[in-house]
Amino acid sequence: MALKSTIYKANLQIADMDRGLYADHALTLALHPSETEERMMVRLLAFALHVPADNHDGALLFGRGLSDTDDADLWRHSLDGTLRDWIDVGQPDDRRLVRASGRADRVVLLCYAASVPVWWQGIANKLTRLNNLKVWQLPAEQTQALAGLAERSMQLQVSVQDGQVFVVSGERTAEIHPQLLYPTVR
């Protein structure tokens, strides 16, 4: 018998000063049986950091990522069907990123975990021709603190200012400092 996903509900209040975006979102997330709460919360963070101000060119939606290799963790299709954004979390192989880069206008990867430097060293040279890719590293201790905010029913405030992210749930806070891995600043 197959295990079922666990459903989480999140009321997300976003105040992104960097983008001038202030919005509320009521979200339902499915925690895949093989997924950790840390990964699910990074997906939620990816939504908060990339949701557009309006849906005039399509809505940002959660994909089936883990259960379907042809789906992103999050993606946005324009109203004419063009795949605008492909957003993944974790440490995928280079073939997935190359395939996504060929399909979408913009590809974003949020990688996390202590093993990121080793993974990145093995994959970085294979991605140099991907002009529509951005890779961000989220420090492991910070994403673990983010996972500590996970509850089946969540009220979260996400504030972004000067590239720093603060996620608040009641009295608990997780502070995230994303670091750009690719493209490198020259």
Instruction: Check residue 127 and give its pLDDT.
Output: 93
Q: pLDDT tens, 3-15? A: 788 999 999 999 9
The span from the CA of 43 to the CA of 74, in Å, is 8
Say if residue 183 is preceded by a cis peptide, omega within 30 of 0.
yes
Task: List the domains of the chain with CATH numbers.
Answer: 6-182 (3.10.640.10)
Mean pLDDT, residues 36-46: 97
Q: Is the pLDDT of residue 1 over 90?
A: no
Question: What's the pTM?
Answer: 0.94
* Residue that has been written with the tokens 């049986």 in this structure: 33
- Residues in the chain, total: 186
Q: Is the pLDDT of residue 69 over 80?
A: no
The span from the CA of 47 to the CA of 25, in Å, is 10
**Tokens standing for residue 181:** 């891995």
Instruction: Check residue 75 and give its pLDDT.
Output: 95
The span from the CA of 148 to the CA of 82, in Å, is 36
Residue type, 177: H
Q: Is the pLDDT of residue 57 over 90?
A: no
Cite the beta strand spans of 36-161 per DSSP E. Answer: 60-62, 74-77, 83-89, 106-112, 133-138, 153-161
Q: pLDDT tens, 24-36? A: 999 999 998 889 9
Instruction: Check residue 130 and give its pLDDT.
Output: 95
Of residues 59, 70, 181, 55, the one with CA closest to residue 128:
181
Instruction: Check residue 174 and give its pLDDT.
Output: 98
Residue type, 161: Q
* Residue that has been written with the tokens 């666990």 in this structure: 6
Helix (H, G, I), strand (E, B) or coil at 24: strand
Q: Is the pLDDT of residue 2 over 70?
A: no
Q: pLDDT tens, 82-103? A: 999 999 999 999 999 999 999 9
Instruction: Check residue 65 and give its pLDDT.
Output: 62
The span from the CA of 90 to the CA of 42, in Å, is 9
